Structures are given as C-alpha cells and as structure tokens.
Chains A and B, each alone.
Chain A
Amino acid sequence: SQKIEQNSEALNIQEGKTATLTCNYTNYSPAYLQWYRQDPGRGPVFLLLIRENEKEKRKERLKVTFDTTLKQSLFHITASQPADSATYLCALPRNQAGTALIFGKGTTLSVSS
C-alpha cells in the first residue's frame, strides 16, 4: 500500500518568509495529491489538489508542485503570516483503486512576527 512521509514534524519561520513543506510517497504514483490544513482541536480543511499531469498549482499565496519522478510534492506559502501557523497534511489515494485518502503525519508550521 502507499506510504507517505512528511519529513519535517515542525517548521519555524519568520513572518514574510516563504515556508516550504515536503511530502514524499513510495510505491505507485497517485493520480492526484491533496494538501490540508489542520488547526488545533479542529478537523482538517482542504487547501489544494494537484493532478499527476500538473506540475504546479497556485491559490493566492499557496503553491503546490508535483514531481512524479521524484515521488514528491512541495507546498509553499509565500509572504507567510502568523495566521498561517497550523499543521499541514499531505494526502494521497490509499491505493490505485482510489478508495479513500491516506494522510501524512503532518508538518506543524509556526510563523513568528
């Protein structure tokens, strides 16, 4: 089955800098990959989806890349703000049949002013 690694448990950056989070996966290449944000005590909230034939996707200050050769996705937050502080989760289809998502353990981002 698919495995996901988000290689940083925590990332601390200063306001205004760009945060870059990494998601690596093993086994098969998924048809798509998703990123979620989770605040303490809350459920995850969807941010972005990128398909295997898309190299890059943007939404406001967010950018996601998808490299199927490296089996990696990068998630960038530009001009970061303290309000961006949260845990960010990478998610992929559980298997090639696509039945349900599996999630990485997440990276907790802290943006200091």
Chain B
Amino acid sequence: TAGITQAPTSQILAAGRSMTLRCTQDMRHNAMYWYRQDLGLGLRLIHYSNTAGTTGKGEVPDGYSVSRANTDDFPLTLASAVPSQTSVYFCASSDKGAIGDTEAFFGQGTRLTVV
C-alpha cells in the first residue's frame, strides 16, 4: 500500500524562487498536515487541514501556503524561498479531523535546500 507519497524526495532551490511540495494520500483520511524538521528544533507544524476545503495555520506558517481542494492532495507552496526554509518537510495524515485518538501516518519526507 502506498500510504502517503511526497514529491520530490529532495530539491535544491535558488532563493527567491517558488516551489510546491506535493503530498498525496490514498487512505481517504480527512485530516492532513505539513511539518518541518530541523536539527535541534524537532518537528514543527506549518499548516494543517481537518477536512477538504479547510486549512489552518500551525506554529511556523510564515512563508508557506497550502490548499486542500480534495481529500487526497495537500500541496505546500513556498512563494519566494529563503535560506531559512532549508529543512526536511514531512506530510502526514490521520483519520479524524481533530486527530482525535488516532495515529498520524507520515510520508518519507522532502529534503529542501535553499541556496
């Protein structure tokens, strides 16, 4: 089973350029999330979506935008990348909108380097 698929696996991006990180899930989960993981800072929530058509801001939303046009896809866009956005990005999904008491499933991550 595929679960959550993220693309690309890694990317080097010039500062000032835009980029969309893709995330697709095949589990029909209603909630999806984007996290970034940095050494010494752990996983930090960027944006989330409890159901298709709705999104919310996490702890570190600045410089990022998301959309949730359907259940399966939750792309993350960097409009104008800066070096501080160099990180590993993880997409996740869960079965309940408020994550309730169910587990989160994570993708394999996208390693982004902004130069």
In the bound assembly, the distance between CA atoms of A1 and B45 in angstroms comes to 13
The answer on a CB contact under 8 Å between B48 and A43 is no
The answer on a CB contact under 8 Å between A42 and B45 is no
Closest beta carbon of chain B to A106's beta carbon, Å:
6
Q: Considering only CB atoms, which chain B residue lies closest to A4 in the complex? A: B42
The answer on a CB contact under 8 Å between A99 and B108 is no
The answer on a CB contact under 8 Å between A106 and B45 is no
A43-B90, A104-B42, A105-B40 known; A99 and B98 CB under 8 Å? yes
Asked if A102 is at the interface of the complex by the 8 Å CB criterion, the answer is yes
In the bound assembly, the distance between CA atoms of A105 and B48 in angstroms comes to 20
The answer on a CB contact under 8 Å between A43 and B106 is yes
Asked if B101 is at the interface of the complex by the 8 Å CB criterion, the answer is yes
A42-B108, A43-B106, A103-B43 known; A51 and B99 CB under 8 Å? no
Contact residues in B for A31 (Cβ distance below 8 Å): 101
Asked if A101 is at the interface of the complex by the 8 Å CB criterion, the answer is yes
Interface size for chain A: under 10, 10 to 19, 20 to 34, or 35 or more residues? 20 to 34
Q: Considering only CB atoms, which chain A residue lies closest to B98 in the complex? A: A98
Task: Give chain B interface residues in 42-74, CB to chain A under 8 Å.
Answer: 42-43, 45, 48, 50, 56, 58-59
Which of B40, B100, B107 contacts A43, CB < 8 Å?
B107
Q: Considering only CB atoms, which chain B residue lies closest to A42 in the complex? A: B108
Q: Considering only CB atoms, which chain A residue lies closest to B35 in the complex? A: A103
Closest beta carbon of chain B to A30's beta carbon, Å:
10
Q: Considering only CB atoms, which chain B residue lies closest to A45 in the complex? A: B106
Q: Considering only CB atoms, which chain A residue lies closest to B38 in the complex? A: A105
Contact residues in B for A109 (Cβ distance below 8 Å): none
| Interface residues in chain B, defined as those with a beta carbon under 8 Å from any beta carbon in chain A | 4, 31, 33, 35, 40-43, 45, 48, 50, 56, 58-59, 90, 92, 98-109
The 5 listed contacts between A and B (C-beta, < 8 Å) are A43-B109, A44-B90, A46-B104, A99-B50, A99-B98
